[in-house]
Amino acid sequence: MKVKKALTLSALALAISTTTIVPAAQAESLLAPTFALLAGVLGQPNFTESDAYTINDDVLIEGSDGVVIAANVITPTAGDGPFPAVVFINSWAMNEYEYTAEAQKFAEQGYVVLSYSTRGFGESEGLIDTAGPKDMADLSKVIDWLIANTPTDPNRIGSAGISYGSGISLIGAAQDDRIRAVAALSTWGSLVDSLYGNSSPSLIWGEVLDLSSQLIGRPDPIITEYYKAMLHQELDRLPEIIAWANQRSPLTYVDQLNENGTAVYIAKNWGDDMFHANSVMQLFSELNGPKYIDLASGTHATTELFGMLGLTENRQFNNVHRWFDYHLKGVDNGINEEKPVQMEVKISGKVEGFDTYPIADAQNREWYLHPREFLAAGELEDRPYQSWWNRTNRIDSLTDTVASTGIPVLSQLVEDFNIPTVASMPLIASGQGIWFETNRLNTPLKIRGDASLQLQVVPRYSKAQLVAYLYDMNALGMGTLITHAPITLPQVDAGKALTLDFDLVTTAYDIPAGHKLVLAIDTQDLHYGEPTFYPYAVDFKFSSKKQSVLSVPVL
């Protein structure tokens, strides 16, 4: 008999508070919106008896190396089969009952549905492999069991999952061509980009992943070891960590997905600071088989979980059903005729469709950074900076500024309800931050994709971090956050001029006519681990020979 376990939010918040500067009460309040949802779907199963299917809740499957995998299976009763099948794979720190409601819906529609806990979670044995080779071998063993023990059509199998389960679904489909279709929700493309993008360690979400695995699962010790090494910028260990992470990145396997002709559905949220959208969009653009992506507001997994719990319109899971119906049952429901890139514009809630990504109609518009005068803002100009004299603007790392991604998790979550993250641009401390503004826009500026930034800087210490933010500023100087990105310099030559090139997080946002586009830069953000606690300065250099440039894709 399998024993069911539940998540303790206060324990997780307390654990986070002991390893960060966030007090326990604040940590719990920050995490409550997300983990309340997790707690609501984790624990005792909530099966509903029905004449449309039978339930076997005591499935134990031998994994690739003898580890026992705990699962449940729901089988339709109408007809003798064979039936199409869907394999649901748990999210991080969740178990086989996460998708109970959706599994029953699929079973009512004529699917065999098997849900299982990956090794190290729930009642499955073994240590957490973090979407590694053992997890992939386990998935193949689960499919073997499914075909041998249920009326499953071996030519009509799909896999699905949110977050952790999505990555395993994608990598598993690349390595096992019996998986014909995938639904990957809140997924990642590159694990390196997600946890160490631009050499910037993910702090809040990294701690959540590490500590939740310890509290709820049985992690391989290498998970904490690698995370701490990355957080502390142990540069000599980075090659082995990157190799480990690449093995666990769907982007590594895009050629195999293309060779298998796997039909891939993806759902992604703009405010997902656990797995930024950039590498997912790269993955999507490189897929050449059937593909479809829903891009929405919200943070990691919240849009999907709200839908699963019936709290919001369930566009994502509605499309998961349509995707599998079309690719596994041959139902002509029109999803193959829709534009495959469905993009919700932040704050407005409107959804636009496009044929490709990057969007063919989006053209890069460039603004050149011009230095600030005294305490005024610098300028974003259409023309390059030209002067006989070079100029320097300096900021230091003594304190943070009001430019920020907001309250971790919570600020990104409430964007799903059209509540933006805002800050007053004139209140950005000139000693610790700098901001540049355009003239008032004559027409709306429709941003669609990855803005990029090239900066000419001189770090005055051997370590430094910069965080860039794009804002929509109204006439009162209040800025609404559009997107952001960090870049960290874990080891540089102090006093040496550098050109920094990096992309900001993918987004879709409309700046109204009459507002200004603002680029703000400071040295820290709660989402990212700092390279040093020693105070340092960074000089921004302006000359006619080397330009600092902001490039934004606009319709």
Third-level CATH fold of 363-554: Jelly Rolls (2.60.120)
Q: Break the chain into its structural domains and give their ranges.
A: 9-338, 363-554
Question: What type of residue is 511?
Answer: I
Please indicate whether the domains covering 9-338 and 363-554 agree at the CATH topology level: no
Confidence (pLDDT) at 417: 82
Each of the 555 residues of the chain gets a pLDDT tens digit; together they read: 444 333 333 333 333 333 333 443 444 444 444 444 454 444 567 899 999 999 999 999 999 899 999 999 999 999 889 999 999 999 999 999 999 999 999 999 999 999 999 999 999 999 999 999 999 999 999 999 999 999 999 999 999 999 999 999 999 999 999 999 999 999 999 999 999 999 999 999 999 999 999 999 999 999 999 999 999 999 999 999 999 999 999 999 999 999 999 999 999 999 999 999 999 999 999 999 999 999 999 999 988 887 777 666 688 999 999 999 999 999 999 999 999 999 999 999 899 999 999 999 999 999 999 999 887 899 999 999 999 899 999 999 999 999 999 998 888 888 888 899 999 999 999 999 999 999 999 999 999 999 999 999 999 999 999 999 999 999 999 999 999 999 999 999 999 999 999 999 999 999 999 999 999 999 999 999 999 999 999 999 999 999 999 999 999
CB atoms within 10 A of CB 375: 9
CA distance 90 to 370: 50
Q: How many helices (H) and strands (E) does the chain have?
A: 14, 24
Report helix, strand or coil for 283.
helix
Tokens standing for residue 180:
């014909």
Confidence (pLDDT) at 307: 74
Q: Decide: 268 and 508 in contact? Cβ < 8 Å.
A: no
Confidence (pLDDT) at 305: 84
Third-level CATH fold of 9-338: Rossmann fold (3.40.50)
Tokens standing for residue 14:
């307390």
**450 exposure class (CB count in 10 Å sphere: 0-12, 13-18, 19+):** buried
How far is residue 363 CA from its own chain's centroid? 25
Report helix, strand or coil for 199.
helix
The residues pairing with 291 across neighbouring beta strands, listed in sequence order, are 264
Confidence (pLDDT) at 50: 93
Report helix, strand or coil for 180.
strand
CA distance 502 to 172: 31
CA distances from 159 to 86, 162, 320, 498 (A): 5, 11, 11, 45
- 């994994």: which residue's tokens? 63
Tokens standing for residue 162:
């949110």
Confidence (pLDDT) at 394: 97
